[in-house]
Structure 1
Amino acid sequence: MVGCGTRTGVYDGSRGARVQRYNRPMKLQNEDGVTAATGEPSAVIVAEYLRAHPDFFTVYPDVLRDIEITHVTGDAVSLVERQISALRDENERMKTRFDDLVAFASTNEQLIKRIHRLALALMQAAGPQAIFATLGDRLAQEFHADNVRTLIFASPSFVESAEVPEFVGGDCPERASFAAVLKSGLPHCGTLTESQIRSLFGSETQSGSAVVLPLSGKDWDGVLVISSHDNARFDENMGTEFLANLGDIVALIVDPWVARSHNG
């Protein structure tokens, strides 16, 4: 006997008991993405339609207002509120990024100004002794350096070597400690090796960070080492473009005071 619509009954022949069966709709989707039981489009079809018609919520703003999305906190929020919140977060990220770029640009601008002042001071220095004295003083003041050492692997011109200890000669054994930096031609930031520390400071104990700037001129090379007691002052990941410019300026200022070989 058939019941009232959604429930049917049949007899179990062995025991005579009625077995109840319930007719429940099955949600199956056909190839077109339509739910077979209800004839309604699937979520995939709806999503594709909304992407293809971005003005849908403009035409039907009441739908947008009625949609609610469960927030991670469990509270229900409207789609408009969710979008506003997402835009607010994105704007905050963009503002942070913009502030970082402004700060970076400001830092670079100040660095350029300091290098410019240093270049002017070096050009006004009279003689190699004054050049290296000015270099050390300015780097300590403008760049907060704790130690400055310059090694020119060549002999000086016009003056005695004893008067400018920075000229250590082309055959100086300390050059081997900086061979990698000289070969690359690029500044190196981070910590100094033990051999580099001995070459620069002898038996003095040194810690912290440093930048090694290779100097290159006609038939000569050298290094300018700026060190700090602060381990993070010259981090190995810091940019070195402006520091390379500083090395080029120093090499240009020193070059006229380097003795030339007879066949150069």
Structure 2
Amino acid sequence: MSASNDAVARSGTALDEEQVREYLKNNSDFLQRHPDLLDFLHVSHASGSAVSLVEKQVSVLRERNMEMRHRLNALTANARDNDKLYEHTRKLVLKLLEASDLDQLCHSFLQGMREDFAVEYASIILFGDPDDSGGSTRYETPEKLKLEVGGLLKGRKPLCGALRGEELAFLFPNASGAGAPGSGSAAVMPLGATDKRGLIAVGSADANRYHAGMGTLFLLYLGEVIVRLLDRLPATADND
């Protein structure tokens, strides 16, 4: 018993609720030592009826159990999603490593985004002469990219968020006419940390699909792989 409770006992003064509360906090095993009291303690139930403390404890434990199940289900679902994301990323990286030229590299990226990751729009744009664009390879001058989507190229990490209609149409020409003007969102990853080489992007007509709070680790990883392959691959395969 605490000193304050000793004093109250000696003085014969009746305990108030706060003193009882403090005593029970300081003697958490009190009901274990006096289990017969559980039958006399009742708390109000949500239905309005009174239930014993034992019943209330069982109800609380049941609710906590349900909450833990929900959490476990959420963790399991996240683990499955992460496993699927890892497998798709691994498959795409292997395809990128097998590319014999830049056009095949770009084709593998766009195909993987569309078929494995099921993204609505995908794009890879490299710095260069637009007249050299062909097949799956698209070139744009640094000045053009800065003019059209300069704000999306800042930093070294993917930038996610809603896009203006002009930005969406520039990044994804096949998105023209899809959805209302100005609607859309994307995750844009600059290729190169200091010496920018272009960009990769995935997008959607849904303005809320890509947002600042979402994870972009896999896109960052793919960007780093592509940057390392750019200097190793010719623009087209040598057929000689």
TM-score category by the smaller chain? Answer: 0.7 to 0.9
C-alpha distance in 1 between matches for 2:175 and 2:51 = 69
Equivalent residues in 2 for 1:161-180, closer than 5 Å:
161-163=132-134, 165-170=137-142, 172-180=143-151
C-alpha distance in 1 between matches for 2:174 and 2:47 = 63
2:63 to 89, 92, 109: 89
Q: Which runs of 5+ in 2 are unaligned?
A: 1-6, 236-240
Matched, 1:102 2:73: no
TM-superposed deviation, 1:65? 2.0
Q: Is the 8 A contact 1:154 1:169 kept in 2?
A: yes
SS at match of 2:203: strand
Q: Is the 8 A contact 1:215 1:248 kept in 2?
A: yes
C-alpha distance in 1 between matches for 2:174 and 2:48 = 67
Taking structure 1 as reference, are residues 229 and 202 closer, same or farther at Cα in structure 2, changes over 3 Å only?
A: closer
TM-superposed deviation, 1:154? 3.8
Aligned partner of 1:29 in structure 2 is: none
2:203 to 227, 232, 239: 227
TM-superposed deviation, 1:48? 0.9
Q: Is the 8 A contact 2:187 2:203 kept in 1?
A: yes
Q: How many residue pairs are counted as aligned between the two chains?
A: 222
Equivalent residues in 2 for 1:130-209, closer than 5 Å:
130-154=104-128, 161-163=132-134, 165-170=137-142, 172-200=143-171, 201=173, 204-207=176-179, 208-209=184-185
C-alpha distance in 2 between matches for 1:202 and 1:226 = 12
Q: Is the 8 A contact 2:110 2:124 kept in 1?
A: no
Taking structure 1 as reference, are residues 62 and 146 closer, same or farther at Cα in structure 2, changes over 3 Å only?
A: same
TM-superposed deviation, 1:245? 1.4
C-alpha distance in 2 between matches for 1:202 and 1:241 = 26
TM-superposed deviation, 1:175? 2.6
Q: Is the 8 A contact 1:197 1:206 kept in 2?
A: no
SS at match of 2:200: strand
Larger Rg: 1
Q: CA RMSD in A?
A: 2.9
Taking structure 1 as reference, are residues 214 and 33 closer, same or farther at Cα in structure 2, changes over 3 Å only?
A: farther
Greater share of helix: 2
Q: Which runs of 5+ in 1 are unaligned?
A: 1-31, 260-264
Give the TM-score, by structure 1 length. 0.73
Taking structure 1 as reference, are residues 93 and 75 closer, same or farther at Cα in structure 2, changes over 3 Å only?
A: same
Taking structure 1 as reference, are residues 217 and 46 closer, same or farther at Cα in structure 2, changes over 3 Å only?
A: closer
